[in-house]
Structures are given as structure tokens and as C-alpha cells.
Amino acid sequence: MPNESHVWSSRYEAKAIKGHICVACHVVRRYGQEWGSGKDCGWENVHSACSISTDPIAEHEWTAFVKPSGIVRFCQECYEPQGWGRKFGSSKGPAYEQVLELCSAVDLDKKTYADIITAEAPEYVHPLAPLDPESMVRDERHHNLATQFTGKDFVKKFSDFQNVDVAAIDEALTHPSASVNGCNFLRLALLGDAVLDLVVVQYLYHTNPNADNGEMTILKGKAVSNRVLAKIAAPYLRYIRTKSTFDYDSKTCADAMEALIGAYYKSNGFSATADLCADLGLLEAVKTCNGRSKH
């Protein structure tokens, strides 16, 4: 029955973008401005005849790869590509491109594109995945490894935090996506941010007597940037309980580092926290930024 008409579903893609999928042959038809005329949206042109498929409709099975311009993943069944980046996300961070949620018929152009990318690009493994290849957590799946650890495990592993309240450590390691009764690291991150600012500004004040307030502000901003904090936080990231993904230089990693500093400050006060920042290498980052500014 290859000449039957399509039987379109009413499934929407996401947000303002929508589309149909033929429940018989899985062909996708999208709706949008690019297929319309003037100010009107229209439906994408697809072949009017339905090639009946006996395969069940299924959700995409994704495998992600790292290409020079960023991360892209492909459905293992229909080769639908889906890019990752800030242009697909919000002001809070990057996200995956919006596509139809169900598999469609194989598009030869998409398959060719996938073959070209996957032939050269390595498969993407999330940086927070455990190192054991047999238990790697791939892509954006929940990072189950972190749920196995507690604050007690953390302070045993990292001696710098042995004198910190375990409950505060648990709070500092909980991403908002994994909040328990509304408890996550955001409050401690705010506290840690303020304490870290004071530590850095105090250091700059005493080591740069000729710098004005504008110069000190610029140096402080560079020294406590998301990238610098995330680099210092790297050993702790696998302990963060989260149900979302983030890159090593993202604000999430910086927030986690600030939350740990906030937890340390609660238990040990300012002077000890300033010593901790020095031990962690944060003041070395200040020195590096200061040295660059003089050239």
C-alpha cells in the first residue's frame, strides 16, 4: 500500500515550533516560517504518498560526538542531528537543539552528514563520568556516581575540608536540579562568593598599593572568573549531585566551588578561609592575572 496518504499525528516539537510525524511511515513534516510565504508560516513539503512501515514508532536513541565547533549527537536509528550550545539554550546556559521527539524515516542527507562527522569526531563522554570505562555515564544522563557519596566521604577524600560541617558539605554538593526539600548549593554559593571577593580584594589591596579601585575591580573579576574557579573545582566535580549537564568552565562549576568556600567559612571563619583559598591556589590565580596586567 505505498500510495496511501500519510496519517499525521498531532505531536508538537517544543515551544513555538511544531510538526507532525506520519504514524505509518514515520516521515516528519515541520511547520514554520521557512516553509511559508510573507508573514505566514507553512508546512514543509514532503512526498504525499505514504510508504507504510511496520516498525514501531520510537524515541530517539542518541550518541554524542565532539567536533571542532562543539558537541553534536545523532539518533542511532534515523540519524537526526541535534547540536548543543548556547544558541539553543537560555540565559542560564546551553542546551540541545529542539527536534521532533520521535524517530522518523532515514534521511540520506542526514545519514551522510552523520557518517562524515562520526568518522573523525571522537565519541563524547561527559567530563563528570567515572573513569571506569565499564560504568561511564554518557551524554546528559543523570550522574548516578555522585549519589553514592555523602559529605562524610568527601571530607575523608579531601583533607582541606575535614573541619567542615558534613551537612554543609552535602548542601554545597547539591545542584538545584537535584534539590532535596528545596535544599541546594545556591545559598552557600552566595555566601562563598562574598567571602571570596573579600579575600581577593584584601590581597589585591595589600599587594597593589598603587592600583586604583577600577584596576583592582578588573583584577578581581579576572581572578574569580568562572573559568578560574571551575579549574580549581575540578577534583570536586564528580561529587556534585545533579540531574543536568554542565561543562568544566560553566557557572555551575564556579557556583559549586563558591558553595564549598561558603561551607568552609561557616565552620572556620574568615582567617582560616583566606588560608584555604591560598592553599587551593586561588591567590596564585590572582598573581597570574596581576602579572599579565602589568605587561
**pLDDT, position 130:** 40
**pLDDT, position 244:** 66
Cell 574569580 found at: 224
**pLDDT, position 271:** 95
**pLDDT, position 2:** 43
* HSE value, Cβ hemisphere, 13 Å, CA-based, for 262: 23
Active-site residue (options: 170, 171, 193, 255):
193
Would you say the C-alpha torsion 264, 269, 275, 278 has a positive or negative sign? positive
Global pTM value: 0.52
Active-site residue (options: 13, 80, 255, 258):
258
Which residue pairs from 223-226 have beta carbons closer than 8 angstroms and sit at least 24 positions apart in sequence?
223/282, 223/285, 223/286, 223/289, 223/290, 224/193, 224/196, 224/197, 224/200, 224/282, 225/254, 226/250, 226/251, 226/253, 226/254
166: how many CB neighbours lie within 10 A of its CB?
16
Rounded to an integer, what distance in angstroms lies between the CA atom of residue 28 and that of residue 46? 8
Rounded to an integer, what distance in angstroms lies between the CA atom of residue 59 and that of residue 72? 17
Q: How far is CA 37 from each of CA 3, 44, 46, rounded to the nearest angstrom?
A: 29, 12, 17
**pLDDT, position 113:** 84
**Is 275 an annotated catalytic residue?**
no
CATH topology for 141-293? Ribonuclease iii, N-terminal Endonuclease Domain; Chain A (1.10.1520)
Would you say the C-alpha torsion 35, 37, 41, 47 has a positive or negative sign? negative
**pLDDT, position 233:** 86
Nine-digit cell string for 34 = 521557512
Query: Per residue of the chain (295 residues), what is the pLDDT tens digit?
Result: 345 677 776 554 544 556 777 766 667 777 777 777 767 778 888 777 776 555 555 677 888 877 767 778 888 888 888 887 777 666 666 777 777 767 777 778 888 888 888 877 777 655 444 434 333 333 333 344 455 567 888 888 899 999 999 999 999 998 888 887 888 999 999 999 999 999 999 998 998 888 888 888 888 888 888 878 888 888 887 788 877 656 555 678 889 999 999 999 999 999 999 999 999 888 886 776 565 555 4
**Is 40 an annotated catalytic residue?**
no
**pLDDT, position 56:** 54
* Angle, vertex CA 134, rays to CA 248 and CA 158, nearest 5: 45
Domain residues of the chain, as ranges? 1-57, 59-124, 141-293
**pLDDT, position 166:** 92
Contact 263, 164 (CB under 8 A): yes
Bridge partner residues of 50 (DSSP): 4
Contact 174, 236 (CB under 8 A): no
